[in-house]
Copies of this chain bind each other. A is one copy, B any other.
């Protein structure tokens, strides 16, 4: 086993102990790098610890660069890795630091490192988390058409309500344009309610009341869709034994005998 294949196992796979440890350390470094970008954006901290933060940032950039080069070196088809989803994220997460040497204002893009957090899903792939996550994603996928229809209906509502409020309230009450009215309608219908724009006329408040109560009832729809999907007995996953005698399905994994014909389940 060459060093290269050994490194491959450690860096790209996570079945071995060393591979798991590598992934865990990487995850910690990613989290640290994100915290660092956050701290750098806080003026009071940035002013006080400027040199330390800069030092740490370059440290992490070098670690990420080294890791990126290693990955390119050890994979058999570097191009496939470079243009893969994770390859592009890995590249983009080191780019801003180097660009920052020549340009200003690229610093904020360093937050793209947050996308590296998605790597956590690879690390978790070996255990229950992935299965449970898959159930959620499957439920969302299966309800995507229902949710699209729902979102389309909501968007149409929001356009009509937003324009209505623009006509009723007018610019003097903060509804300066139709897009702003639509923004208000979304803020209200989703029950966020910032209060940066709120109706002042009696008619506007009456319509707002209807919108709010509608929003209250409407929130039931996506919840109902996802819940109904999650509550369905999951047929796709190996859901229990099949009776060898009567071929009935749907037995629990701890069932010993067929519920329908009484034959022993294998």
Binding site for B on A (CB under 8 A): 34, 37-38, 41-43, 108-109, 111, 114-115, 117-118, 120, 128-129, 132-133, 135-136, 139-140, 145-152, 154, 156, 159-160, 163-164, 166-167, 171, 176-180, 182-183, 186-196, 198, 202, 205, 208-209, 212-213, 215-217, 219-231, 248-264
Contacts and interface: CB of A to CB of B under 8 A. Distances in A.
Q: Which 5 A-B pairs have the closest CB atoms?
A: A257-B262, A192-B193, A194-B195, A111-B163, A224-B226
A190 B190 CA distance: 10
> Which has the most chain B C-beta neighbours within 10 Å: A118, A152, A221, A248?
A221
A149 B159 CA distance: 29
B225 A108 contact: no
A195 B187 CA distance: 11
Contact of A222 (B115, B160, B193, B216): B216
Given A151-B213, A228-B230, A257-B258, 17 more contacts: A38-B178, A132-B145, A135-B146, A154-B216, A179-B202, A186-B213, A192-B212, A219-B222, A220-B227, A224-B227, A250-B253, A255-B260, A256-B261, A256-B262, A257-B260, A258-B262, A262-B263
Contacts of A151: 213, 217
A62 to B, nearest CB: 22
A164 B260 CA distance: 53
B217 A220 contact: no
Given A176-B43, A227-B223, A256-B260, A159 B34 contact: yes
A32 to B, nearest CB: 13
Contacts of A154: 213, 216
Contact of A166 (B34, B41, B140, B215): B41
A108 B114 CA distance: 38
A78 B117 CA distance: 48
Q: Tell me the number of copies of this protein.
A: 4
27 contacts: A38-B179, A108-B166, A108-B167, A108-B178, A111-B164, A111-B167, A111-B178, A115-B160, A120-B152, A136-B221, A140-B221, A182-B209, A188-B192, A190-B212, A190-B216, A191-B191, A193-B194, A194-B195, A195-B196, A219-B223, A221-B226, A223-B227, A225-B230, A249-B253, A250-B254, A259-B259, A262-B263
Contacts of A225: 136, 220, 230
> Which has the most chain B C-beta neighbours within 10 Å: A111, A159, A216, A219?
A216
